[in-house]
Structure 1
């Protein structure tokens, strides 16, 4: 492009008439500026007027482009190169050896809780050189809704605690069922129950041991027996001496000699409040029974006495009323005993833990 064409183009683009000197001065400035812009890089570019009067630059080999477009292309090219360089030079780290993790400690396994227990009273036989009688014992058995059957099963398979006491029912005896209605409990035994051999005195007390064990429960007043669901002649003979001819049988504590005192209420560990009614059975001199309520530390809260319905050698029931002020502690003891007329000592003492409401 010649200076002359550039000058004409500039005059045309100005769109207005100006003096030739002014046009030339402006053309000279524009030419110098265009030459400077076109000289960037390693080769010179010639200014050219393109369509719509846009100033272009033409190189030696004929390629060209707008100034703004070339800058944008250069910027994008540079960005692509930098991105490729960064991505290509990124160091890929190989995973190192994985150290084995220590096993996490397992939570401690809780020991299974022991089954809940309940107390049942059972009656065993005891023979001495002079007499045969019954002894009452309190045993712990697994808690169940069938309390009567559980007590009877303990009478068959349990171990007597009283020295010299023994079981009457054969160990292979099975309880086929117990039905209770209107105060009557009917027990159905397996045929092994007929294998007992205890003599005439032992047979009567053996029957009474079953009856007394079951009548410990308030809902049972009388007891009758069956063998394999029937009451045939073999069942009626029972153990060969007394038989079942007088059934149903009722509770009888006359031949229960041991222990001398036992307590029906309160039960061990029971919560109590004033007034406290203590009930039980006693076979003591002149039928007089003493009771004392203590704190856990031994301080006396209340004391009293009662008279049983019969005195030794017979057995009678008693009831004692104790009034007291509730202590600060929540635990205490109940003691029941009788006093020796000979030396004033406390005999056959029963000591039960209680809790205060």
Structure 2
């Protein structure tokens, strides 16, 4: 590897290292259980798209030239929650003329939506992140929608603030029980290679518990704790209720656009129609794999304290999980 492309540590982390501190390690991923989207290995041969980005990085921009002078690496950060309309948000934002989605470097990134810098790609260095996210059209805002960022630790958030000091942060919250059920179904899709809804079932056993761990249900559902950490660095982050978005997606999208400094009123009629059409889409609904009553009882007990903590801290309430519990009471044990 040429010396000039050796990943350089972020200045904030470099100062910590000089003081004898350790560079923060991203949260352990374990077996992600993603048959359709495995975690990249460091020695994976770069895709053609990634090779293009590396070639760009070896040019003048890699040394801190004009391409590296943007205020933020990512102008818009959506940190989840997973299974809370983040793909819907990406599709809507991508249709706005003021937004740039980075090229598809799958499996280095999760297509054009999730850069996964702090959990999959931190070893590539901040210049890689800058090049990957940088819009190739002037005046556009870059967007990184990676739900795993919700549980970055304090050291990682300090680095995030250094790289993205003026980023607009969005956090969509879904009923913790409903989100957990949906997350487990998503992992079941990957584990079964897209089995139909009647071809798989979740029962309370060692496989179910392992899937709960792989899905990081407790990290994704710890909304109050995640909000507290992120607000220390981004106090003006936008928090949305998934149920409100489902009820009026266009109104929710306009809130996001306003938060991100993206115009709605200045758009042409055809662009407004395009955004309204995308806002009305239902994106990637997982098969409704049945869960045994024991599974639901376990998830309810695990997620309820997180729901109460969020309501106490923010006043946000949900109803989606109540429908799941009513269905549980009506079904055989």
**Normalized against structure 2, the TM-score is what?**
0.26
Determine which structure has the larger strand proportion and give its number.
1
Identify, as 1 or 2, the structure richer in helix: 2
Structure with higher Rg: it is 1
TM-score (norm 1): 0.24
